[in-house]
Amino acid sequence: MRIWFRATNPTLRIPPRSRRRWIVRSRRGANRIAVVVLLAWLIVSGWGSLAAAGDKSQSDRVDALFSAIADRTGPGLAVAVVRKDAVVHAAGYGFANLEHEVPITPDTVFDTASVAKPFTGFAVASLIESGAIAPDDAVREHLSQFPGFGHTIAIAHLIHHTSGIRDWPGTLSVAGWRMDDVLGQERILDMAFNQRSLIFDPGTAFRYSNTGYILLAEVVARASGLSFREWLHEHLFAPLEMTRTHVRDDHTEIVPGRASGYLRRPDGSFRRVPNNLSAAGSSSLFSTARDLAAWLMHMNDPQTRDSPIVERMLTRGRLNDGTELPYAYGLFHGTYRGLPTVGHSGGWAGFHSQLMLFPDQRFGVAILANTAIDAERAAHRIADIYLDDRMGPRERGERERPAVLALPKEALELFTGFYRLHDEGQYVRIRKRGDLLTFQPTGEPETVAVAVAEQEFHLPARDTQIAFERNRTGQVAYLLHRDQRLPRVVEGNAPDPDALQEYAGIYESEELRTSYHVTVEDGALTLRHPRHGTIPLSHIRGDDFEGVFPAVTFGRDAEGAVEELRIHVGPRTGDIRFSKRR
């Protein structure tokens, strides 16, 4: 059975200063299918069919882009498209709840994940404009529990992700946190207040940190005297009539019309993902496509009192050396087909979201999905439909790919191995998978590398190139990637069981208030933790190992005795140190 609505809805909440046309659609069908695969195929391949559909309206062409989802009973997405002060398309595709077969509509409530950050940026910019806080204020002026670190960390450092503060998801995973745990604001703040060292000196690098935006939400609360949820409701959501949007501060709260998040199993069926997180500032913003459209229109034409706030939000940050950043106040700056864009994506517990604004064209797209999709690419496809006549040629990777060269397997073998990054214990691993190479830096996903020349490879998932360099004897000696020249290192033989005993012991972290027990079992090293159980470690070289955590390195004192354990889960966390108990 199919249900198809296309009508003007008299119950829509329309801010009085604008007239907005809404088209509401919802579909449902009868056959469950792997929505993720279908959507990825449609978004990647759909350009040709859409470009040829000149007799269809732009709104119909957006429907066509997601038609396969609308005809199935799996999870899906809600979409809203705005132009200046009008909504030109709003629709839902797929199901918000698979158990009760509830269709997605533009009013379905989703966890928007990191799409919360622009709203945190708005709150901070607003308080700066009012004089309640200043960008150069030390965070400790507002949060007395915040550590000193021997450096001044200013509010601006948190805004621009240049503070050196650890990202909380990876850090708390080392402490034993799991996805099905209940995790609230207090636990994350406690982690931040107990951090012992920085990943880098403030202002010297850009490193995305969810923790920084948790701290900003707390600054807003203490400076204003309102909870972060109350501040956003009073100063933003209520004025814009975003009546179904709120900051989640209670994971047990009943939210009418809320979608569940889903992940697809290998057999094509879906499983529901637990979502017990309350992390105001960095995420935990619940909203609808309709409400986010109101925000996009406000950004297109802010009320007089908000113009300075929006102007501040659109001003990019800089490092200490003057390098301009692609980020500020919760907005990534980019371009698509020659047009400037600002926005933010999000992903958490099966939810994926994208908020994208083309400021010069006063055009915006909001996408909220309750399963894994490439939301940014979907937003680009929608922009193609509405802005094609204003755009430049399609970007490389969208328009064309480098010609693929088929190299023999024995040639691919020459490049496999480890290449050492500048950070101690960090590597890029190159593997051979069938007729392809794969590329995997420490703490990051493995991605495919396809040959485009005898020593050059393209990484489609990263839209970048890598190359290999040989030494004077003709052996592959270096990996070249993003202006880095990484030396190839010998993996090395695993230590014998007797040598492994020097690593055994209990290692404690004062920062995370947890410990790991290192043991030798069946001739191999293992980590034991009360929450994570037993983690086998594989030797890489020297004192460097890997397991569930991408990098586990043992440090030695001046006499060569093992004295510490360092766990690295990614560039956003840096090394977390555990001291060996004597």
Question: Mind spelling out the 3-state secondary structure of 285-347?
Answer: EEECHHHHHHHHHHHHCCCHHHHHHHHHHCCCCECCCCCECCEECCEEEEEECCEEEEEEEEE
The rounded distance, in Å, linking the Cα atoms of 112 and 355 is 9
The rounded distance, in Å, linking the Cα atoms of 197 and 219 is 21
C-alpha pair distances (Å), 343 with each of 17, 80, 162, 287, 355? 24, 14, 19, 16, 5
Query: Residue 43: its pLDDT value, please?
Result: 43
Give tens-digit pLDDT for 174-207: 999 988 899 999 999 999 999 999 999 999 999 9
Q: Which long-range contacts (CB under 8 A, 24 or more apart) does 403-408 make?
A: 403/452, 404/450, 404/451, 404/452, 404/458, 405/451, 405/452, 405/453, 405/454, 406/435, 406/451, 407/451, 407/454
> Hunting for tokens 């890997």 — which residue is that?
546
pLDDT exceeds cutoff 80 at 572 = yes
Helices 375-387 & 35-51, crossing angle to 10 degrees?
20
What residues have CB less than 8 Å from 220, skipping those under 6 apart?
120, 123, 124, 127, 228, 231, 281
Three-state DSSP at 359 gives helix
- 526 and 418 in contact (C-beta within 8 Å)? no
pLDDT exceeds cutoff 50 at 391 = yes
Query: Residue 546: its pLDDT value, please?
Result: 86
The residue with greater pLDDT, 11 or 382, is 382
The rounded distance, in Å, linking the Cα atoms of 383 and 61 is 11
What is the pLDDT confidence band of residue 570, given thresholds at 50, 70 and 90?
confident
Residues of the chain above pLDDT 70, percent? 87
Query: Residue 52: its pLDDT value, please?
Result: 35
Give tens-digit pLDDT for 537-546: 988 888 999 8
Q: CATH 2.40.128.50 spans which residues of the chain?
A: 497-580
Query: Residue 39: its pLDDT value, please?
Result: 45
Give tens-digit pLDDT for 216-248: 999 999 999 999 999 999 999 999 999 999 999
Taking residues 83-99, what's their average pLDDT? Answer: 95
Alpha helix (H) ranges present in 388-462? 409-413
How many residues does this entry show for the chain?
Answer: 582
What is the pLDDT confidence band of residue 423, given thresholds at 50, 70 and 90?
low
Give tens-digit pLDDT for 6-62: 333 333 333 433 333 333 333 333 333 334 334 444 443 343 333 333 346 999 999
Taking residues 536-559, what's their average pLDDT? Answer: 90
Q: Which DSSP helix (H) or strand (E) runs through 576?
A: strand 575-580
Of 120, 124, 94, which is closest to residue 289 (Cα–Cα)? Answer: 94
Query: Residue 128: its pLDDT value, please?
Result: 98
> Hunting for tokens 């801010």 — which residue is that?
15
The rounded distance, in Å, linking the Cα atoms of 161 and 208 is 5
Give tens-digit pLDDT for 142-172: 999 999 999 999 999 999 999 999 999 999 9
- 170 and 551 in contact (C-beta within 8 Å)? no
| CATH number of 409-489, picked from 1.10.3470, 2.40.128, 3.30.70, 2.60.40 | 2.40.128
The residue with greater pLDDT, 571 or 88, is 88
Query: Residue 494: its pLDDT value, please?
Result: 75
pLDDT exceeds cutoff 90 at 394 = no
- Tell me the whole-structure pTM to 2 decimals: 0.83
What is the pLDDT confidence band of residue 435, given thresholds at 50, 70 and 90?
confident
Q: Mean pLDDT, the chain, as a whole number?
A: 87
Give tens-digit pLDDT for 250-261: 999 999 999 999
Give tens-digit pLDDT for 93-142: 999 999 999 999 999 999 999 999 999 999 999 999 999 999 999 999 99
pLDDT exceeds cutoff 50 at 271 = yes
- 546 and 537 in contact (C-beta within 8 Å)? yes
CATH 2.40.128.50 matches 497-580: yes
What is the pLDDT confidence band of residue 400, given thresholds at 50, 70 and 90?
low
Taking residues 366-392, what's their average pLDDT? Answer: 95
pLDDT exceeds cutoff 80 at 565 = yes
Give tens-digit pLDDT for 319-358: 999 999 999 999 999 999 999 999 999 999 999 999 999 9
Strands 86-93, 24-26: parallel, antiparallel or unpaired by DSSP?
Answer: parallel
The rounded distance, in Å, linking the Cα atoms of 565 and 570 is 16
C-alpha pair distances (Å), 385 with each of 38, 58, 72, 352? 20, 6, 24, 22
